[in-house]
């Protein structure tokens, strides 16, 4: 006689979703202490192989009919830009951000505009309908066509959506969804995975669009297991910077690029789009640049703008060099400092290095490396860079300055903002602009910029 099948107990990490058959003090995947939560899985149902045998067909990929991916505008051009040109029917979109940054405000504004053309439902899981209506009135997002529900049980919610033929769904927030199939407590790992999967599949089956609002953990990642991000088609992060700006960027997009930025400013009337950003991240100052400051033209998606890189070096109190950088990857800063130390002989191994981009913007592209090197050199030697100078270029470990994409566009943007001199890798067209100086190595760049000052 076979043993009776019973429910089993297992443990999952509340931070990353890793599971274990026994309790562990430290999660083996993410390293978080005391994060393992007890869960109980239902007894496995008996499986009748004969009942599940069915005919299956194989089809060659060239015989699969192609689907038209017509996009739908959100009515907010900065949001459309990050999504790759608009929303794709059948897609699911996850948007995360810190509390109070404006996730709900952005989606309420978008839902109000979308509802003018498509049936849109806003799921109020955290706030009362009165609170949402009050915010909508304050930011000018009142719409007689936008429907709202406080239903957060997935099975009943799907019935409501089918009855009213909803085309666009906004869930605020995903942590408040629950289903009896995944347990009794909302917000658990199982609930997040199950509810996200169910509504994502509902969107695909009904050719609709689902937005999920999610919270961030203290580490800056979306709360819940990583599987949630894999289930959806697009993952957006809403970030806060200085000057009351909000940056929207994508970390995953199955229907477009992840390089685009959406920039908003927060006001009493809600989020306002910021379309012109060419000089938004420059510091207005009179007189010479202080040591450690360099100006660089950078690209994010289809946008080109100037940023100010600020570097500071101070003797390390512990004798070991440390890098403090939230705007540029600290590993990239360490690599550039190592190149300077190797090829210029400028010592950084006993220095603490601080790097920042004016305005708090995070930059990932490699063209920031040459201007970063010049800012570090300036900070370490106390010699300031010349005014009206922009620097761009990738830096190799051999000390070579490598070519970058769209150099002419970067130079054009710098010219439009009054920058007279450009230091960059050699261009295909040497006469790309007046006062354009190509450099091939980091030594040549330092000699060209600082001249006799470094003697």
Query: Is residue 239 marked as binding?
Result: no
Q: How many CB atoms lie within 10 A of CB 165?
A: 9
Least Cα distance to 177 among 424, 208, 169, 406 occurs for 169
HSE-up of 198 (CA within 13 Å, CB side)?
22
User: What distance in Å separates the CA atoms of residue 117 and residue 97, rounded to the nearest whole number?
Assistant: 28
Q: Which residues contact 360 (CB under 8 A, 6 or more apart)?
A: 240, 241, 242, 326, 327
Query: Is residue 86 marked as binding?
Result: no
User: What distance in Å separates the CA atoms of residue 143 and residue 250, rounded to the nearest whole number?
Assistant: 28
How deeply is 361 buried, as exposed, middle or buried, from its count of CB atoms within 10 A (0-12, 13-18, 19+)?
A: buried
Q: What is the DSSP string of 284-347?
A: --SSSPPTTEEEEEEEETTEEEEEEEEEEEEE-SSSS--EEESSB-HHHHHHHHHHHHHHT---
Least Cα distance to 20 among 31, 9, 30 occurs for 9
Least Cα distance to 233 among 191, 201, 271, 205 occurs for 201
H-helix or E-strand spanning residue 189: helix 189-205
Query: Is residue 321 marked as binding?
Result: no
Q: Which residues contact 67 (CB under 8 A, 6 or more apart)?
A: none
Residue with tokens 């550039």: 336
Pairing of strands 394-395, 19-20: unpaired
Query: Is residue 51 marked as binding?
Result: no
Instruction: Give the CA radius of gyration of the chain.
Output: 27
User: What distance in Å separates the CA atoms of residue 172 and residue 163, rounded to the nearest whole number?
Assistant: 21
Q: How many CB atoms lie within 10 A of CB 267?
A: 10
Query: Is residue 418 marked as binding?
Result: no
User: What distance in Å separates the CA atoms of residue 431 and residue 404, rounded to the nearest whole number?
Assistant: 17
Query: Is residue 291 marked as binding?
Result: no
Contact between 407 and 393 (Cβ < 8 Å):
no
Q: How many CB atoms lie within 10 A of CB 355?
A: 26
Query: Is residue 17 marked as binding?
Result: no
Pairing of strands 261-267, 209-215: unpaired
Query: Is residue 76 marked as binding?
Result: no
Known binding-site residue numbers: 97-104
Q: Which residues are annotated as a binding site for ATP?
A: 97-104
């Amino acid at each position: 006689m076979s043993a009776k099948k019973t429910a089993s107990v297992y443990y999952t990490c509340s931070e990353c979703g890793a599971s274990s058959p026994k309790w562990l003090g430290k999660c083996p995947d993410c390293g978080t202490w005391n994060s393992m939560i007890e869960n109980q899985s239902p007894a496995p149902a008996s499986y009748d192989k004969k009942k599940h045998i069915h005919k299956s067909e194989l089809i060659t990929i060239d015989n699969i009919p192609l689907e038209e991916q017509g996009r739908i505008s959100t009515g907010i051009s900065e949001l459309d830009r990050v999504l790759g040109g608009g929303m794709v029917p059948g897609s699911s979109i996850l948007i995360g951000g810190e509390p109070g940054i404006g996730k709900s405000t952005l989606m309420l504004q978008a839902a109000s505009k979308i509802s003018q053309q498509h049936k849109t439902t806003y799921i109020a899981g955290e706030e009362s309908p009165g609170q949402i209506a009050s915010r909508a009135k304050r930011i000018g997002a009142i719409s007689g066509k936008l429907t709202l529900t406080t239903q957060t049980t997935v099975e009943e919610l799907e019935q409501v959506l089918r009855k009213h033929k909803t085309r666009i769904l906004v869930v605020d927030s995903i942590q408040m969804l629950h289903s009896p199939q995944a347990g009794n407590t909302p917000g658990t790992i199982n609930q997040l995975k199950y509810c996200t999967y169910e509504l994502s599949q509902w969107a695909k089956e009904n050719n609709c669009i689902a937005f999920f609002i999610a919270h961030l953990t203290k580490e800056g990642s979306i709360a819940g297991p990583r599987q949630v991000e894999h289930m959806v088609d697009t993952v957006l992060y809403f970030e806060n910077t200085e000057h009351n700006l909000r940056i929207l960027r994508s970390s995953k997009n199955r229907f477009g690029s992840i390089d685009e930025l959406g920039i908003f400013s927060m006001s009493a009337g809600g989020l306002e789009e910021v379309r012109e950003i060419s000089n938004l991240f420059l510091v207005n100052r009179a007189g010479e640049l202080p040591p450690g400051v360099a100006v660089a033209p950078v690209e994010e998606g289809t946008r080109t703008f100037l940023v100010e890189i600020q570097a500071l070096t101070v003797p390390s109190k512990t004798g070991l060099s440390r890098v403090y950088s939230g705007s540029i990857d600290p590993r990239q800063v360490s690599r550039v400092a190592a190149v300077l130390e190797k090829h210029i002989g400028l010592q950084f191994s006993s220095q603490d290095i601080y790097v920042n981009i004016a305005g708090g913007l995070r930059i990932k592209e490699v063209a920031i490396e040459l201007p970063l090197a010049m800012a570090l050199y300036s900070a370490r030697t106390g010699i300031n860079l010349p005014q009206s100078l922009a620097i761009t270029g990738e830096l190799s470990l051999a000390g070579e300055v490598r070519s970058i994409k769209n150099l002419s566009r970067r130079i054009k943007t710098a010219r439009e903002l009054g920058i007279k001199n450009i230091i960059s890798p050699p261009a295909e067209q040497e006469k790309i602009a007046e006062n354009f100086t190509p450099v091939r190595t980091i030594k040549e760049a330092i000699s060209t910029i600082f001249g006799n000052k470094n003697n």
